[in-house]
Structure 1
Amino acid sequence: TCFIDRDELQFTSDRRGPKFAIEPPSKVDFLNSTGTVIHCSAKGSPLPSITWVKQDGSALLDLPSLRQIGTDGSLVFLPFAASEYRQDVHFTVYKCIATNTVGLIESRSVRVRASGRYTVFPSGELHIHQVDPVIDGQHQYRCQTKHRLSGEIKLSASSGRLIITGKKKPNSNVSPRIIEGKNLYFSEVGDKVILPCVGQGFPVPTFSWIKVKDESFNEIVRIEENAEFRVFQRNGILIIKQSQISDSGKYHCIANNSVGKAHFETILVVKAPIAAFISPQVLRGQEGEESVRFNCTATGHPINKIVWKKDGRVLNDVHKYKFYESVLIIKNLKREDRGIYQCFVFNDYENVQSSAELILADDPPKFSYVFSDASVERGIDEDQYKCTASNKAAESASSDVFVKVIVAPLINPFNIAPNLREGMRSMLTCSVLEGDPPFRLSWFKDDKPIEVNNNNAKITSSDEFSSTLVINKVSFEDNGNYTCVVTNSAASANYSVNMLVK
């Protein structure tokens, strides 16, 4: 008989879709003087290939002296001079793609930002870190732009200088003016938050902070100056020792003196890193099945939306798919539904993904040949046999087995002497007439193994084909049913006789 495990048959091809072994992080910051390497690798069968794409999905090309794709699939940014800075290279979004014959998966978005002492933001602002009053005050600064399509470069007609001033007392009172603050600030859960509020005015203004819970300012929370609190203010700085998601919201800094007051609003967003996980990781279905489902468990804060993809394409066919928050239901399974599915979890700051595979089983296999029930013979039926099964997808499974014919043991009948009286000797010899060794011979009395732990009974054997039970002096206690059991790798045989001592 050829036995087939249906699951083993359907999936024995050992083909597995791509899974990220190393997925790149959502944010990468590096200095222009050092460069950086962003690693990306995946496992699967066959081994997936790694490519990188831009945010718009176009393939990434090597840029000599700036950006290269390593032989191991890593994205390499080389050190560069400040004059070689390119926003489309050093301040943009990339994705890693892993592909094999089973399917395709793409990584979360990777936001890359290169910086040095001078940082140019997309808005056109120039930030100078660690200002040097001597060096930075002597330079003139101009803005240069480059058209993305035409490549045309233009230099600003006017220039600017950095003027560093000292303390100077004004001639008259001046209403407060807030000159530095953060409009939007992001923090991870548990991080320490420090929000500056820098202002000018005369007399020197005092500063206070409030948290606004509604637009009409009907519900506010005043921040105290007690440093023992988790949230407090000091010298115009708002400090949150260990940020929580509930700390997210709008904060107002108020600068006040005898002339007037000024407000500055900061929006604080406390994030918990988001994560996604699809279950089950491998879903097995049957063609024609009414529906199957994947569950995407999303954690973190905030979570704005969940998007499902198959082989890199967004799923939006409402007749084929149903979406219930984090659940994807695939209806009326067809062969083309098998492949790699991903759920992407998004917020305004990052996105993450998880992938799983849908495998469709074929119809149960049909045997092309079945052995009929028959006795086997040594020398004729002993041989190497192979069982092979295949499906419509041209996938197959096979197994080899060598059939060896082993003869079961046959016991030569034995008897107990009649008219056995107390005090007489009894000898029972169990011998094997036929069968293939090795044999194991055992004795039982009333279905319990016989223990020969005294001088009155013993078991002896002159060869591997026989065993003899000897009772030197029988008594009424020896009455019962005696059985010899012979076992080899093919089967077991037994023979029993009854002892009656008079």
Structure 2
Amino acid sequence: MKMLLPWELLILLSLKDCLAERNIRHGPVFTQEPSDSVFPLNSEDNKVFINCKAKGNPTPHYRWKFNDQDIDIDMDSNYNLVEGNLLIKRPQASQHGGMYQCIASNAIGTIVSREAKVQFAFLQPFSSKPRNAVLVREGQAVVLLCSPPPHFGEIKYSWIFNGQPGFLVRDKRRFVSQRTGNLYIAKVEASDVGNYTCVVRNVMTNATVFSSPSTVVLRSDAVMGEYEPKIEVQFGENIHVAKGSSVKLECFALGNPVPSISWRRADGSPLPGKIKINHSNGVLEIPYFRPEDAGLYECIAENARGRNVARGQLIFDNVEHLHWAQTLRDAHMAIEASLQWECRANGNPRPSYKWLRNGELITTEDRVRVEEGRLFITNINVMDAGMYQCAAMNQHGVIYASAELKVVASPPDFSRNPVKKSTLIQQGGEAIMECRPHASPRASYSWRRGGDFLKNTKR
């Protein structure tokens, strides 16, 4: 017989292990779950995939829920199942935006995925209705409203003046808010007379729409005199900022003469060195926000007639995303045994818990007790077998830990520990004969000598 080389032997052993693993029955385990997503609606193929994949033996089959309702794949032509993934054809923001959840099942049990929020970026056209002319005196301030059409996704605002190529240049006198899209002119000059068009662009879809023109007309009855600054664009009084994110504060004032804008921290400490202030001083940006960046910030608008101050508190939002500190392991339990499972998650705010069996909520009753992240099952029977999940949740999301409970039920079997057929002892001595069958639930015992049952006595 040919001797196998070491590497050939390793290959054969690996193949043997793979085949053995394939033959072991086990419940579904997610290898890919759906995640929060924003999809552009103007994509060429007009299709959306939401991913879900699980392993298991037998091979899992899938179904999906949308806003906690089962999706009927056969009856709804907008949906298709591609392996475990959900395909949405011809999606509409109003009909298909919401919460999606994947459910994987096989003969062992069922598990549910995390819920994924699916949204669609879109930008509708402006109304074609003409806009009213704006009459203003020279030296007076003016605010032109953009009033953007319905949209979702990040939006960028610009303005066009008198149809000229290129966008209106923003400076200390003219400001475009990226929160509202409105155009602010601190002090109108004769050269400002003309038509203004708001331009809105969706960053994700790259769709761009144009408003009807707003006409600025100069009144000739009087000229506006000087007046102190009025801060028209302000940031919020309390702004919560997550660690590592970027925050932008907008501040712009109307006035004659044109006010200057400056920034400072109310406690007198220097502004963070990483801050960015745009050329008009109307926007202060703090990237990569850290706890030391928190505090009260002030925007100061000044001109020859006076000054005005806007204040806002930046609050470090110490959000800790949910993650497992203790998860679950599969359990093999005998009938009538007791099981205790515990899961523990870290997160801020502190999470609460719920338990699922085969995708259904578990409540305390009879043999089953739920205490936050602990699950107790006493006097286990074969009906308790299946897939269990612990879910930890707070206002920022939900995470799931999964495990399988196998309930072992077997008749007494002496193949592992057979009783000795003969035992040699001295006359007057003691004999010990072991009876240790493998059985679930635990077997009861009796002994016979010949045809008579033995009692637990000494002679």
- Give the TM-score category using the shorter length: 0.5 to 0.7
- Residue 340 (1) aligns with residue 387 (2): yes
- C-alpha offsets along residues 175-233 of structure 1, whole Å, 9 cap, x if unaligned? 533536479978764x34132223333252645466xxxxxxxxx86663251xx6787
Matched ranges for 1:14-33 at <5 A: 14-25=24-35, 27-33=36-42
- C-alpha offsets along residues 368-418 of structure 1, whole Å, 9 cap, x if unaligned? 9979849xxxxxxxxxxxxxx9979xxxxxxxxxxxxxxxxxxxxxxxxxx
- Residue 198 (1) aligns with residue 251 (2): yes
Candidates 228, 238, 243, aligned match of 2:289: 243
Candidates 74, 78, 85, aligned match of 1:74: 85
Matched ranges for 1:332-481 at <5 A: 332-335=378-381, 336-362=383-409, 365-367=412-414, 373=421
Q: How far does residue 44 in structure 1 lie from its aligned partner after superposition?
A: 1.0
- Residue 288 (1) aligns with residue 336 (2): yes
- Structure 1 unaligned segments of length 5 or more: list them: 1-10, 142-159, 211-219, 375-388, 393-502
Q: How far does residue 299 in structure 1 lie from its aligned partner after superposition?
A: 4.0
Question: Rg bigger for which structure?
Answer: 1
- Structure 2 unaligned segments of length 5 or more: list them: 1-20, 127-148, 166-180, 182-195, 201-210, 423-437, 442-459
2:270 is aligned with what amino acid?
Answer: E
Q: How many angstroms apart in 1 are the aligned matches of 2:40 and 2:22?
A: 49
Is the CA contact (8 Å cut-off) linking 1:223 and 1:231 kept in structure 2? no
Q: How many angstroms apart in 2 are the aligned matches of 1:174 and 1:161?
A: 33
Helix, strand or coil: the match of 2:413?
coil
Candidates 341, 349, 353, aligned match of 1:306: 353
Q: How far does residue 277 in structure 1 lie from its aligned partner after superposition?
A: 6.7
2:253 is aligned with what amino acid?
Answer: Q
- C-alpha offsets along residues 48-91 of structure 1, whole Å, 9 cap, x if unaligned? 111110122332547978x42332121224466xxxx43231x3
Q: How far does residue 102 in structure 1 lie from its aligned partner after superposition?
A: 1.6
Q: How far does residue 247 in structure 1 lie from its aligned partner after superposition?
A: 6.7
Helix, strand or coil: the match of 2:95?
helix
Is the CA contact (8 Å cut-off) linking 2:124 and 2:150 kept in structure 1? no
Q: How many angstroms apart in 2 are the aligned matches of 1:171 and 1:63?
A: 70
2:41 is aligned with what amino acid?
Answer: N
1:176 is aligned with what amino acid?
Answer: K
Q: How far does residue 349 in structure 1 lie from its aligned partner after superposition?
A: 3.1
Q: 1:253 to 1:301 in 2, by over 3 A?
A: farther
- C-alpha offsets along residues 238-261 of structure 1, whole Å, 9 cap, x if unaligned? 5444334x4797866555543543
Matched ranges for 1:49-68 at <5 A: 49-59=61-71, 61=73, 67-68=78-79
Matched ranges for 1:157-306 at <5 A: 163=214, 171-173=225-227, 175-179=229-233, 181=235, 189=243, 191-202=244-255, 204=259, 206=261, 208=263, 224-227=270-273, 235=281, 237-244=283-290, 246=291, 254=299, 256-257=301-302, 258=306, 260-264=308-312, 269=317, 271-276=319-324, 279-296=327-344, 298-306=345-353
Percent identity between matched residues is 17
Q: 1:23 to 1:61 in 2, by over 3 A?
A: same
Other-structure match for 1:321:
369
Other-structure match for 1:111:
117
Q: How many angstroms apart in 1 are the aligned matches of 2:336 and 2:242?
A: 47
Q: 1:208 to 1:248 in 2, by over 3 A?
A: closer
Is the CA contact (8 Å cut-off) linking 1:276 and 1:344 kept in structure 2? no
- Residue 39 (1) aligns with residue 86 (2): no
Q: 1:101 to 1:20 in 2, by over 3 A?
A: same
1:321 is aligned with what amino acid?
Answer: R
Q: How many angstroms apart in 2 are the aligned matches of 1:233 and 1:139?
A: 24
Helix, strand or coil: the match of 1:116?
strand
Is the CA contact (8 Å cut-off) linking 1:98 and 1:105 kept in structure 2? yes
1:204 is aligned with what amino acid?
Answer: P
Other-structure match for 2:455:
none
Q: How many angstroms apart in 2 are the aligned matches of 1:318 and 1:173?
A: 74
Is the CA contact (8 Å cut-off) linking 1:286 and 1:333 kept in structure 2? no
Is the CA contact (8 Å cut-off) linking 1:286 and 1:361 kept in structure 2? yes
- Residue 86 (1) aligns with residue 93 (2): yes
Q: How many angstroms apart in 1 are the aligned matches of 2:238 and 2:405?
A: 42
Q: How many angstroms apart in 2 are the aligned matches of 1:315 and 1:233?
A: 54
Q: 1:286 to 1:163 in 2, by over 3 A?
A: farther
Helix, strand or coil: the match of 1:102?
coil
Is the CA contact (8 Å cut-off) linking 2:157 and 2:199 kept in structure 1? no
Is the CA contact (8 Å cut-off) linking 1:294 and 1:329 kept in structure 2? yes
Other-structure match for 2:451:
none
- C-alpha offsets along residues 125-181 of structure 1, whole Å, 9 cap, x if unaligned? 65754546359966999xxxxxxxxxxxxxxxxxx9674989x99644255335364
The TM-score, its normalising length taken from structure 1, stands at: 0.52
Q: 1:288 to 1:68 in 2, by over 3 A?
A: same
2:335 is aligned with what amino acid?
Answer: E
2:87 is aligned with what amino acid?
Answer: V
Q: How many angstroms apart in 2 are the aligned matches of 1:204 and 1:172?
A: 11
Is the CA contact (8 Å cut-off) linking 2:113 and 2:400 kept in structure 1? yes
Q: How many angstroms apart in 2 are the aligned matches of 1:248 and 1:332?
A: 53
Q: How many angstroms apart in 2 are the aligned matches of 1:276 and 1:61?
A: 34
Helix, strand or coil: the match of 2:251?
strand
Is the CA contact (8 Å cut-off) linking 1:140 and 1:161 kept in structure 2? no
Q: How many residues align?
A: 325
Q: How many angstroms apart in 1 are the aligned matches of 2:377 and 2:26?
A: 23
Q: How many angstroms apart in 2 are the aligned matches of 1:119 and 1:304?
A: 43
- C-alpha offsets along residues 407-436 of structure 1, whole Å, 9 cap, x if unaligned? xxxxxxxxxxxxxxxxxxxxxxxxxxxxxx
Q: How many angstroms apart in 2 are the aligned matches of 1:237 and 1:139?
A: 20
Q: How many angstroms apart in 2 are the aligned matches of 1:162 and 1:307?
A: 56
The TM-score, its normalising length taken from structure 2, stands at: 0.56
Is the CA contact (8 Å cut-off) linking 1:209 and 1:233 kept in structure 2? no
Q: 1:183 to 1:105 in 2, by over 3 A?
A: farther
